[in-house]
Amino acid sequence: MSFVFSTPVRFADVDHAGIVYYPRFFHLFHLAFEELWRTRIGPRAYSELIDRDRIGFPSVRAECEFKLPLRFGDTAEIEVSITRLGAKSITFRYRVYRSEPRALCAEGTVVCAVVDLARFVAIAVPDRVVAMLDDLVEKPSSI
C-alpha cells in the first residue's frame, strides 16, 4: 500500500530553465511526508512529536533519479511507501508522477534516523510511529 499527496507545481517552483528546480523534488518528498502525519494522526501530529516529545526524523541519506521535468501548470502526485522499517531508522521511497498526461518524473529514497532532538542521538522508532507506518512497508510480492 502507499500514501499519495497531490499538489500543483507552483509559480516559483521552477528555475531559470523553466522546469522544477531539482532540489524542490526533495521538498515535494517532504510535503508528502508531512501530509502523511496530518492525514493519519492530525494537523499538529508532527509538530507535537518534535516540540513535546522532542523526537525528530532527520535525513541521513537521500537520493533521487530525475526522469522527466515537471513544469508550472503540472500537478505532481507524490507516492510514499517504505522499503525498510528498521529499529532506529526508516527508509522511505517516493515516486513523483505528473498527473496529466501521467508519467513518472522522479523516484528516490530517503533514509531517516529517529533521534532524540535534545541529545541528537538515535533512538528506537516509537511504537505508535510503527503502527502508523506499518501498512506502507513494501511487501516482497509488490516489488
Interacting residues with a copy of itself (CB under 8 A): 8, 10-12, 14-19, 21-24, 26-27, 29-31, 34-35, 38, 43-44, 46-48, 50, 56, 58-67, 69, 71-73, 75, 100, 110, 117, 120
Q: Given the complex with a copy of itself, which of 58 and 126 has the nearer CB atom? A: 58
Handedness of CA 41, 3, 107, 128 (dihedral sign): positive
Alpha carbons 113 and 88: distance in angstroms, whole number: 6
Q: Given the complex with a copy of itself, which of 67 and 88 has the nearer CB atom? A: 67
Q: How far is the CB of 2 from a copy of itself (least distance, A)?
A: 21
Alpha carbons 80 and 136: distance in angstroms, whole number: 8
Alpha carbons 64 and 70: distance in angstroms, whole number: 14
Question: Is residue 8 a contact partner of residue 14, using CB atoms and an 8 Å limit?
Answer: no
Q: Given the complex with a copy of itself, which of 46 and 97 has the nearer CB atom? A: 46
Q: How far is the CB of 40 from a copy of itself (least distance, A)?
A: 14
